[in-house]
Amino acid sequence: MMDAMFPAAASEHAGEIDNMIDAVHYLMLVLFIVWGAFFLYTLMRFRAARNPKADYVGVKSKASTVGEVLVAIAEGVLLLGFSIPMWAERVDEIPSEADSTVVRVVAQQFAWNVWYPGADGVFGEADPYLTDEATNPIGLDRDGAGADDIWTVNQLHLPVDKAAIIHLTSKDVIHSFNLPNMRIKQDAIPGLSIPVWFVPTKTTVQIREETGNPDYVYEIACAQLCGNSHYSMRGFLTVHTEEEFQAWLDEEASYLGDSGTDDFFN
Ligand SMILES: [Cu+2]
């Protein structure tokens, strides 16, 4: 019912998250009305005019205790019955890499470096001493498995209807990788590689049709205040059909000339 207030949903698990948010808000609405009414009732019932002498016994009804227990039970059901199982699926049921699109995302002040393993499907080595902010922000070693790796800045591309596993890390401070349409948000922490997974269910073309907005884009936001240009940490996710995705990868690979630089920003 509150769907219209959420960013357009475009992943397999988005509906579950939205239902949970709805349930929490409806519970809060009920609490607001019932506790508010109870508060007004007590103001009237125990007003000075009606109670000229202090009453040292006070309320004898157990109604508020019963109410508190019912609320605690409802919250327990939301937490143990819905939230924790949903979270467990995110962190424990990561699909196999063989059946997924596997990407690394390296956050930094103030951009998202997106790294694909290239044609061999194997990520190369990264060496901090090779890092060059202009030509090699991830410090990719082009010798060995890294020869065909592809990286972009602020441009994540994925095929539709296939699990995407994103190994998330950060070069400097804590960032938070947020794909609002995919209902994904995870901190990127220096020194840790954290897997995030989801299944995008609508291509960029489809979401543009659905929203009636020909310029609609899936955004990557940084959801953790990470420095003075935190606001500018805006990336884009493009969801393709499988064929379009392959064509995009091939195009990116075609820029891997003999120049030894990676100065493509697409
Ligand atoms: Cu950030």
Distance in Å, CA 188 to ligand 1 centroid: 9
- pLDDT value of residue 58: 73
Tens-place pLDDT, residues 234-263: 999 999 999 999 999 999 998 886 444 555
End-of-domain residue from the set 92, 121, 151: 92
Clarify whether residues 28 and 113 are in a common domain: no
Clarify whether residues 73 and 129 are in a common domain: no
Clarify whether residues 142 and 237 are in a common domain: yes
Distance in Å, CA 113 to ligand 1 centroid: 12
Phi, psi of 13 (to 5 degrees): -95, 0
Tokens of 89: 């699926």
More confident residue, 63 or 2: 63
**Mean pLDDT of the region 115-136:** 92
**Mean pLDDT of the region 228-236:** 95
Clarify whether residues 58 and 102 are in a common domain: no
Say yes or no to pLDDT of 62 above 90: no
End-of-domain residue from the set 74, 92, 110: 92
Q: Label residue 181 exposed, middle or buried (CB < 10 Å: 0-12, 13-18, 19+).
A: buried
- pLDDT value of residue 40: 96
Most confident region among 3-17, 41-55, 131-145, 199-213 by mean pLDDT: 199-213
| Residue 150 and residue 256 in contact, taking contact as beta carbons nearer than 8 Å | yes
> Structural domain of residue 81, as residue ranges?
3-92
- pLDDT value of residue 2: 61
Clarify whether residues 59 and 112 are in a common domain: no
- pLDDT value of residue 67: 86
End-of-domain residue from the set 66, 92, 118: 92
- pLDDT value of residue 266: 39
Range with the lowest mean pLDDT among 31-40, 61-70, 132-141, 211-220? 61-70
Clarify whether residues 101 and 228 are in a common domain: yes
- pLDDT value of residue 164: 98
Say which residue the tokens 């309320």 belong to: 59
- pLDDT value of residue 255: 85
pLDDT > 70 in the chain, percent: 95
Distance in Å, CA 39 to ligand 1 centroid: 43
Domain-embedded: residue 179 = yes
- pLDDT value of residue 60: 83
Distance in Å, CA 114 to ligand 1 centroid: 14
Clarify whether residues 34 and 164 are in a common domain: no
Clarify whether residues 104 and 173 are in a common domain: yes
Clarify whether residues 167 and 212 are in a common domain: yes
Domain-embedded: residue 63 = yes
**Mean pLDDT of the region 119-142:** 92
Residues 221, 236: Cα–Cα separation, whole Å:
9
* pLDDT-based confidence at residue 61 (cuts at 50, 70, 90): confident
Clarify whether residues 104 and 38 are in a common domain: no
Distance in Å, CA 50 to ligand 1 centroid: 59
Residues 194, 187: Cα–Cα separation, whole Å:
8
Distance in Å, CA 226 to ligand 1 centroid: 5
**Mean pLDDT of the region 217-239:** 96
* pLDDT-based confidence at residue 3 (cuts at 50, 70, 90): low
Distance in Å, CA 77 to ligand 1 centroid: 34
Distance in Å, CA 153 to ligand 1 centroid: 14
- pLDDT value of residue 262: 52
Tens-place pLDDT, residues 143-199: 999 999 999 999 999 999 999 999 999 999 999 999 999 999 999 999 999 999 999
pLDDT > 90 in the chain, percent: 81
- The predicted model scores a pTM of 0.86
Domain-embedded: residue 260 = no
How many domains does the structure of the chain reveal? 2
Clarify whether residues 58 and 101 are in a common domain: no
Report every protein residue that has its C-beta within 5 angstroms of ion ligand 1: 175, 222, 226, 233
